[in-house]
């Protein structure tokens, strides 16, 4: 099921101290929990507020922002001192909201300069907070995304990584000191592992050498790189002597969502983006009634290793960070819902017992197409048919014909006494020029099964029209007239055929 808005509330994190929970950990937790919230961090008299929408950092403001923006504008000589003071007075009552507007309305600077300055300040505040080693933080969950004057335009992980690059000692953002003998592995959490982050060449080199055996001191001479990748969440550090769980899936730089700064884009990137977009939308349209097997694109009897590979492949493709890319800019809701379902599937397939329990629910609830090998009762068959028809009709209206065809085809097989199932099946077949003869055959079967139904004979005549089979069409229209002598549509159609023949 698609998650409700309440699913985005903070589930665990409510507050604490920066000493015990470094700022990067706080941000990473809000990101992982898909939190829509405000994070207030205070230290030495300054309060900074950070706005999040489902884990994405949107904006940062400070109770000292007027002073900070003033310094920025003065440095570049972009504003008159008196006008700045006037703007700051207007903005004092609306931290994070009114400064850009006040700067513009006061005439201190043009609107585009004010907006750019506020956005630059927002990023600067975010980056600088990683330097704080003391302070308190509080998380306030929100029901919907906060309104902000300017949004950050990079994924949360990318902004965190940029902030860590500016720290002389990014290991300070880890809960424990960096152990040179620890072994980096890719994050087991699918959300963290497949973040869409732009990395440097040196960071890519480190990611390319992660194998679960190479230690921190062996993997790169600059251990700060490992520290910041671990603080971002892409990597996890396994202490010496601790076992490493093997996932059995392909690992390495090529199997992540990272891009290397300055590198040549991969070949056929436009085609790959279009294929990704198509898969996202086609899967999302069927999400409410798709099983976990449908979501992953595997058979219900697929072995464990195939399930694991499919989970990682789909997690990489459906990751919510992709909504910040141009080809999926309108797919935020779809990606969030798809990834929530990926997480649910991951829990389901974690143990043989949980998978068996899930399979039993499919058999009992019949919320999806019946699984191969099952023998549902007649009552269950009819319920499956009804649900499949309802879903197929929605997909047909959305022009997603193939899954609609599969669903309504089984509906006809399970409950052939329903005329609407036959009609929808034939209409879907007529959408494909190669299937028009199948549409006629479908309706030929339908009228044999339900011979006294006017609508079925009319639909048969329409299928024959698409096939250009006029003799069969005339027979069908005559059957319509036999069953309903006053049928105006059949009268007009027969008159047109007669007139055409007379010419």
- Nearest-10 crossing angle of helices 269-285, 332-348: 70
| pLDDT single digits (tens) 390-406 | 888 888 887 877 778 87
Confidence band, pLDDT 50/70/90 cuts, at residue 12: low
What residues contact 210, with CB distance under 8 A and at least 6 apart? 184, 185, 186, 219, 235, 251, 252
The CATH number of residue 285's host domain is: 1.10.287.110
- Looking at residues 462-491, what average pLDDT do you find? 93
For the segment 191-212, the average pLDDT, to the nearest whole number, is: 95
How many angstroms separate the CA atoms of 237 and 182, rounded? 6
Contact 470, 448 (CB under 8 A): no
So what's the pLDDT on residue 148? 86
Instruction: Look at residue 70 and tell me if it is in a domain.
Output: yes
Q: What is the mean pLDDT of the chain?
A: 85
Which pLDDT band holds residue 370 (cuts at 50, 70, 90)? very low
The predicted structure's pLDDT at residue 8: 39
Domain membership flag for residue 246: yes
Answer yes or no: is 475 within a domain: yes
Same domain membership, residue 297 and residue 387: no
225 within domain boundaries: yes
SS3 of 394, please?
helix
User: Average pLDDT in the 463-490 region?
Assistant: 93
Tokens 């389901």, residue?
A: 348
pLDDT value for 265: 81
Domain span holding position 137:
5-149
Q: Is the dihedral of CA 172, 174, 177, 183 positive or negative?
A: negative
Per-residue model confidence (pLDDT) at position 77: 56
pLDDT tens-digit series, residues 228-246 = 999 999 999 999 889 888 7
- Helix or strand run (H / E) with residue 337: helix 332-348
Answer yes or no: do 206 and 109 share one domain. no
Which range, 95-99, 119-123, 358-362, 496-500, is most confident?
496-500
Q: What share of the chain is helix, strand, coil (3-state, %, to 5)?
A: 60, 10, 35
306 and 386 in a single domain? The answer is no
Residue 370, in any domain of the structure: no
Answer with the one of 335, 365, 395 that is the final residue of a domain.
Answer: 365
* Residue 284 Cα distances to 1, 4, 246, 338, 342, angstroms: 10, 15, 30, 7, 12
70 pLDDT above the threshold of 70: no
Domain boundary residue, one of 124, 149, 174: 149
For the stretch 337-341, contacts whose Cβ atoms lie closer than 8 Å and that sit 24 or more positions apart, written own/partner, are 337/2, 337/3, 337/284, 337/287, 338/280, 338/283, 338/284, 338/287, 338/295, 338/314, 339/191, 339/315, 340/2, 340/3, 340/7, 341/287, 341/290, 341/292, 341/295
In a domain, 315, yes or no: yes
Does residue 174 share a domain with residue 115? no
Question: Using an 8 Å Cβ cutoff, are 129 and 3 in contact?
Answer: no
State yes or no: pLDDT of 192 exceeds 80.
yes
**What pLDDT score does 108 carry?**
56
Separation CA 283–CA 400 (nearest Å): 10
Report the pLDDT value the prediction gives residue 319, as an integer from 0 to 100. 97
Predicted structure pTM score: 0.69
9 or 132, which is more confident?
A: 132
Question: Which one, of 171, 187, 168, 167, lies nearest residue 179 by Cα?
Answer: 171
The per-residue pLDDT for 72 is: 52
Render pLDDT for 298-310 as a digit per residue (tens, 0 to 9).
998 999 999 999 9
Half-sphere exposure of 363 (CA within 13 A, CB side): 13
Say yes or no: 250 and 212 in one domain: yes
pLDDT for residue 181 is more than 90: yes
Q: Hey, is 141 helix, strand or coil?
A: strand
Asked if the structure places residue 171 within a domain, the reply is: yes
Is there a single domain that holds both residue 463 and residue 330?
no
Rounded CA-CA distance 226/222 in Å is: 8
What three-state secondary structure class fits 16?
Answer: strand
- pLDDT at 374 > cutoff 90: no
What pLDDT is recorded for position 371? 38
Residues in the chain: 503
Distance CA 302, CA 375 (A): 20
Q: How confident is the model at residue 326 (pLDDT cuts 50, 70, 90)?
A: very high
Do 391 and 478 have their domain in common?
yes
pLDDT tier at 100, thresholds 50, 70, 90 = low
Identity of the highest mean pLDDT range in 239-253, 276-290, 306-320: 306-320
Q: What is the CATH number of the domain that holds 407?
A: 1.25.40.10
The pLDDT assigned to 99 comes to: 59
What are φ and ψ of residue 119, in 5° steps?
-65, -40
Lowest mean pLDDT segment, chosen from 50-64, 334-348, 390-404, 429-443: 390-404
Q: Which residue has the higher pLDDT, 5 or 77?
A: 77
Residue 429 Cα distances to 397, 404, 433, 440, angstroms = 14, 10, 8, 9
Do 404 and 356 share a structural domain? Answer: no
More confident residue, 244 or 84: 244
pLDDT band at 288 (very low <50, low <70, confident <90, very high): confident
Q: Is 260 helix (H, G, I), strand (E, B) or coil?
A: strand
* Final residue in a domain of this structure, among 313, 341, 365: 365
- The number of folded domains in the chain is 4
469: confidence class by pLDDT, cuts 50, 70, 90: very high
* Same-domain check for residues 175 and 252: yes
Q: Between these two residues, 477 and 369, which has the higher pLDDT value?
A: 477
Q: Are residues 351 and 487 in the same domain?
A: no
Strands 136-141 and 183-186: unpaired
Q: What's the mean pLDDT in 435-456?
A: 92
Q: What is the per-residue pLDDT across 74-83, written as a single tens digit (0 to 9) for each? A: 554 555 555 5
| Higher pLDDT, residue 381 or 70 | 381
Count CA atoms closer than 13 A to 446's CA, side-chain side: 29
Report whether pLDDT(101) > 90: no
Q: Cα dihedral angle (87, 93, 99, 105), rounded to 10 degrees? A: -50
Tell me, yes or no, whether 423 lies in a domain: yes
Of all residues in the chain, the percent with pLDDT exceeding 90 is 58
The band of 383, judged by pLDDT with boundaries at 50, 70 and 90, is confident
The verdict on 299 and 327 lying in the same domain is: yes
Whether residue 137 is found in the same domain as residue 164: no
pLDDT value at 1 more than 50:
no
Q: In the prediction, which pLDDT does 378 show? A: 79
State how far the alpha carbon of 45 is from the alpha carbons of 26, 41, 68, 135, in Å.
20, 10, 15, 10
């Amino acid at each position: 099921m698609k998650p409700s808005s309440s699913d985005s509330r903070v589930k665990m994190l409510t507050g604490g101290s920066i000493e015990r929970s470094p700022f990067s950990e706080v941000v990473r937790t809000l990101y992982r929990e898909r939190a829509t919230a405000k994070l207030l961090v205070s230290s030495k008299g300054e309060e900074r507020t950070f706005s999040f929408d489902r884990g994405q950092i949107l904006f940062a403001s400070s109770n000292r922002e007027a002073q900070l923006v003033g310094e920025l504008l003065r440095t570049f000589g972009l504003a008159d001192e008196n006008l700045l003071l006037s703007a700051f007075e207007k903005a004092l009552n609306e931290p994070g909201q009114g400064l850009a507007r006040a700067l513009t309305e006061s005439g201190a600077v043009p609107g585009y300069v004010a907006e750019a300055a506020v956005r630059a300040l927002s990023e600067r505040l975010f980056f600088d907070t990683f330097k704080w080693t003391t302070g308190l933080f509080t998380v306030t969950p929100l029901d919907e995304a906060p309104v902000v004057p300017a949004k950050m335009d990079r994924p949360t992980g990318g902004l965190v990584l940029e902030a860590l690059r500016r720290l002389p000692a990014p290991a300070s953002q880890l809960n424990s000191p960096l152990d040179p003998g620890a072994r980096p592995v890719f994050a087991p959490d699918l959300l963290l592992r497949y973040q869409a982050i732009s990395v440097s060449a040196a960071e890519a080199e480190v990611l390319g050498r992660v194998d679960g055996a190479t230690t921190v001191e062996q993997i790169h001479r600059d251990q700060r790189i490992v520290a910041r990748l671990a603080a971002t969440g892409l990597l996890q550090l396994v202490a010496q002597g601790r076992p490493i769980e093997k996932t059995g899936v392909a690992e390495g730089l090529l199997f992540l969502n990272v891009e290397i700064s300055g590198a040549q884009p991969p070949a056929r990137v436009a085609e790959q983006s279009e294929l990704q977009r198509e898969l996202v939308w086609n899967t999302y349209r069927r999400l409410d009634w798709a099983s976990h097997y449908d979501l992953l694109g595997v058979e219900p009897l697929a072995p464990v290793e195939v399930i694991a590979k499919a989970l990682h492949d789909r997690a990489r493709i459906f990751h919510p960070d992709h909504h910040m890319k141009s080809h999926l800019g309108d797919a935020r809701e779809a990606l969030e819902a798809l990834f929530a379902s990926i997480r649910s599937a991951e829990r389901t397939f974690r143990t043989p017992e949980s998978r068996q329990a899930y399979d039993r629910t499919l058999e009992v609830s019949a919320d999806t197409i019946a699984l191969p090998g099952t023998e549902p009762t007649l009552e269950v068959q009819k319920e499956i048919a009804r649900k499949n028809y309802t879903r197929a009709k929605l997909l047909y209206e959305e022009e997603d014909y193939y899954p609609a065809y599969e669903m309504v085809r089984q509906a006809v097989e399970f409950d052939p006494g329903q005329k609407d199932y036959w009609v929808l099946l034939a209409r879907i077949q007529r959408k494909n020029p190669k299937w028009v003869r199948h549409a006629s055959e479908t309706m030929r079967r339908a009228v044999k099964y339900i011979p006294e139904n006017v609508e079925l004979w009319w639909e048969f005549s329409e299928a024959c029209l698409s096939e250009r089979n006029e003799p069969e069409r005339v027979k069908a229209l005559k059957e319509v007239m036999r069953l309903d002598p006053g049928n105006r549509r059949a009268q007009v159609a027969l008159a047109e055929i007669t007139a055409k023949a007379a010419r």
